[in-house]
Chain A
């Protein structure tokens, strides 16, 4: 087996400013601990999160992607997360059909008060991606970008 189950997956998280980002702040303020593998990119709203971001994250070497925002009905911008949800229903299944399955692409609602949930989500995502092993499919394609001496 060329891959190691103990590898440290690289996760890129796209989160909304008002709920999940604030929830992640709360996890910090509460001094909760979670795995270090996640890098957050802050957007104003889940409505701003484009499928292109997810694709690009994989192109740039992510093993998994997390998208998170306000619970339905809590959107700071009224309906951004509803539109996002419909977009993800479609995109999630398309990705799955293309072989990028739900072990690598994760979605969650984390409110500003759910610091604990944020921690649980992160840890769960990291464990799932770890089990899925490095994204060999993409790294194969990425290989041609490496200079061949």
Chain B
């Protein structure tokens, strides 16, 4: 653990910008994040509420080409994508957002190693920030995290007056700060463990989901759901994608990987016209079950970091935590 002066931290950032790194910081009261060109644009604020969109698009963009192709009368020529080697450094990620990176990296590195994800993830350094924000939608403490969880972060910052406390948590983090160690003052600080007051028994929730696949409950909690993909697209852990080919000139085209959402009616629509998830209740069940059961069954992790974005932004105010609470109460 180290202490660093805020202005020294800024110097490091400017240096990193100069050496060609992509620095991502928050703006607009934490609603957005963007690439910055100077440390003056930095805003490190532990009271920001989670940004409207999550940080996942840094490693999993809303749309990206997989390859390009060119057709001739009797042949098809493919061109692969060259990956960008630029480093991306995210500054001030909330614990719930930082954790999401490591969560989804599991699915992208399960049997198939997804280079489109990995090439970006490997070049991304996440500097987490202790969070002091909590509203009625936050529930990170219920999914095994806390406001000071460091999971997923390469470096973690805590604010302390004019200084930052810095935790170096990974090789990536270490390598990044290596040239700047002179700014850092080593300090031992008693790390305080957050009081976590859980009300949800996740085992019980999983069991109930397993046993109640066809329960009318799914209909009753999703009746107002409009079937948009907003919750999935702003979620830091939702990672479904669709693959489409785009023909853009007479002979040429490309294959695209785009965000997709299980709440869309078309998501499971078969070519035959049959749709196994034909009503919204089944789609909503999938959302809950994937996050709290299927992903856990497979990867021993929840596909939810409790950021509360989906509830905060839902057009019809469906609160995912309320749903979990209801299941828990059964």
Task: Please say whether the chains A and B touch (CB closer than 8 A).
Answer: yes
Q: Is B330 an interface residue when CB atoms closer than 8 A count as contact?
A: no
Q: Does B117 contact A (CB under 8 A)?
A: no
Interface of A is mostly: loop
> What 0/1 readout, one digit per residue, does chain B (67-101) give for beta carbons within 8 Å of chain A?
01000000000010010000000000000000000
Total number of A residues with any Cβ neighbor in B under 8 Å: 7
- The distance in angstroms between the C-alpha atoms of A147 and B254, with both chains bound, is 9
Distance in angstroms from B86 CB to nearest chain A CB is: 14
Please report the C-alpha to C-alpha distance between residue A142 and residue B248 in the assembled complex, in whole angstroms: 9
On whether the beta carbons of B79 and A147 are closer than 8 Å, the reply is yes
Residues of B within 8 A of A60 (CB): 248-249
Count the B residues whose beta carbon is within 8 Å of the partner chain — how many? 7
**Are A145 and B79 neighbours in the complex by a CB distance under 8 Å?**
no
CA distance A60 to B79 in the complex (A): 21
Find chain B residues with CB under 8 A from A148 CB: 82
Closest to A59 in B: B248
A residues near B246, Cβ cutoff 8 Å: 145
Bound-complex Cα distance A147 to B79 (A): 8
Interface flags, B246-267, vs A, CB<8A=1, else 0: 1011000010000000000000
- Smallest Cβ distance from B292 to chain A, in angstroms? 37
For residue B251, give the distance in angstroms from its CB to the closest CB of chain A.
12
Majority SS at the chain B contact face:
strand
Closest to A142 in B: B248
Interface residues of A (CB under 8 A from B): 60-61, 142, 145, 147-149
Question: B residues engaging A (CB < 8 A)?
Answer: 68, 79, 82, 246, 248-249, 254
Q: How far is the CB of B305 from chain A (nearest CB, A)?
A: 31
**How far apart sit A147 and B82, CA to CA, in the bound complex (Å)?**
10
Q: Considering the complex of A and B, which 6 residue pairs feature the smallest CB-CB distances, nearest first? A: A147-B68, A145-B248, A147-B79, A145-B254, A60-B249, A148-B82
What residue of chain A has the Cβ atom nearest to residue B68's Cβ?
A: A147
Query: Within the assembled complex, what's the spacing in Å between the Cα atoms of A60 and B246?
Result: 12
CA–CA, A145 and B249, complex, Å: 9
Shortest Cβ distance from residue A84 to the other chain B in the assembled complex, whole angstroms: 28
Among A61, A148, A149, residue most surrounded by chain B Cβ atoms (within 10 Å): A148
B52 to chain A, nearest CB (A): 24
In this complex, what residue of A is CB-closest to B250?
A60
A residues within 8 A CB of B68? 147
Minimum CB–CB distance for B66 against chain A, Å: 12
Residues of A contacting B248 in the complex (Cβ-Cβ under 8 angstroms): 60, 142, 145
Tell me, rounded to whole Å, the shortest Cβ–Cβ distance linking A62 to chain B: 13
- Among residues of B, the one whose C-beta sits closest to the C-beta of A148 is B82
Cα-based distance from A148 to B84 in the complex (angstroms): 11
- Complex: how many Å from CA A147 to CA B255? 12
Shortest distance in angstroms between A139's beta carbon and chain B's nearest beta carbon? 13
In the bound complex, what is the Cα–Cα distance between A145 and B248 (angstroms)?
Answer: 7
User: Besides A145-B246, A145-B254, A148-B82, 7 other CB < 8 A contacts?
Assistant: A60-B248, A60-B249, A142-B248, A145-B248, A147-B79, A147-B254, A149-B82
Separation in Å of the B21 CB from the closest CB of chain A? 21
Q: Report chain B residues within 8 Å CB of A145.
A: 246, 248, 254
List 10 A–B pairs whose Cβ atoms lie within 8 Å, in order of A's numbering.
Answer: A61-B249, A142-B248, A145-B246, A145-B248, A145-B254, A147-B68, A147-B79, A147-B254, A148-B82, A149-B82
Bound-state CA distance A25–B254 (Å) is 38
Roughly how many angstroms separate A149 CA and B246 CA in the complex, as a whole number? Answer: 19
Residue of A nearest to B80 (CB): A147
B89 to chain A minimum Cβ distance, whole angstroms, is 23
A-chain residues with CB within 8 Å of residue B79 when the two chains form the complex: 147
Which of A60, A61, A142, A147 has the largest number of chain B CB atoms within 10 A? A147
Which A residue sits closest to B254, measured CB to CB? Answer: A145
